[in-house]
Chain A
């Protein structure tokens, strides 16, 4: 299957700092990328949908100024958690799809964010 790489795998930061998470499609062009958040023992909650070259579409209740998403190329999307607080600690997962994947969704390995 297609490969989606997510980096970093885990990050610890101080409250008030910003953290950037990268999501890359390694062997296909990702026209659409999705960002999810997952709390322990819970399901994935969609945060936003990102189409290459356009602004991300955020789900209801997700602050777009706090969770900045950039999808500047067909192989890279970034999620920046700005002014992170302890309640932002979570497992963040990206997924990507494109014509080469037959519109199937492939997921990154996730990023565990811990805000102290």
Chain B
């Protein structure tokens, strides 16, 4: 993969509000995208994924949107909780080969 970047390095959200984390990717050939959550001192934790033949996928309190036209990926977290505070990474891959990670966004939930 080529450059996978995030628009915002930090994001603060009031507890209970929804949060949106954005990611831009430049390799139009990427066909699989994943969002990971990483808490301090721990490994990344899988949140949700989406393939390029879809534009939206929902999980529990999370939704991933994929806009292939502008090469943009977003993660929406509904009704944020203190436990959502972490660094969130998007990652892309082509054909399930090695992942390329974005730079990460630190999400802070304000009580």
- Interface check B44, CB cutoff 8 A: yes
Most chain B beta-carbon neighbours within 10 Å: one of A1, A6, A43, A93 = A43
The answer on a CB contact under 8 Å between A107 and B104 is: no
- Interface check A34, CB cutoff 8 A: yes
A41 contacts which chain B residues (CB < 8 A)?
104
- Interface check B50, CB cutoff 8 A: no
- Interface check A74, CB cutoff 8 A: no
B58 contacts which chain A residues (CB < 8 A)?
none
By size class, the interface of chain A is 20 to 34
- Checking A1, A44, A46, A112 against B89 with a beta-carbon cut-off of 8 angstroms, the contacting residue is A44
- Checking B44, B98, B103 against A93 with a beta-carbon cut-off of 8 angstroms, the contacting residue is B44
Complex CA–CA separation, A10 to B34 (angstroms): 27
The answer on a CB contact under 8 Å between B103 and A110 is: no
The answer on a CB contact under 8 Å between A93 and B43 is: yes
A112 contacts which chain B residues (CB < 8 A)?
41
Complex CA–CA separation, A108 to B66 (angstroms): 27
Grouping DSSP codes into helix (H, G, I), strand (E, B) and loop, the A interface class, with mixed when no group exceeds half, is strand
A107 contacts which chain B residues (CB < 8 A)?
36, 43-46
A114 contacts which chain B residues (CB < 8 A)?
none
Within 8 A of B (CB), among A28-49: 34, 41-46, 49
The answer on a CB contact under 8 Å between B99 and A110 is: no
The answer on a CB contact under 8 Å between A108 and B46 is: no
Q: Which 5 A-B pairs have the closest CB atoms?
A: A107-B43, A43-B101, A110-B43, A44-B101, A107-B44
Additional 8 contacts, C-beta under 8 A, given A105-B46, A107-B36: A43-B101, A44-B44, A44-B101, A105-B34, A108-B43, A109-B43, A110-B41, A112-B41
Residues of A within 8 A of B (CB): 1, 4, 6, 34, 41-46, 49, 91, 93, 95, 103-110, 112
Residues of B within 8 A of A (CB): 34, 36, 41-46, 49, 89, 96, 98-104
17 residue pairs from A and B, CB less than 8 Å apart: A1-B46, A4-B43, A34-B98, A42-B103, A43-B104, A44-B89, A46-B99, A91-B41, A93-B44, A95-B43, A103-B96, A105-B34, A107-B43, A109-B42, A110-B41, A110-B42, A112-B41
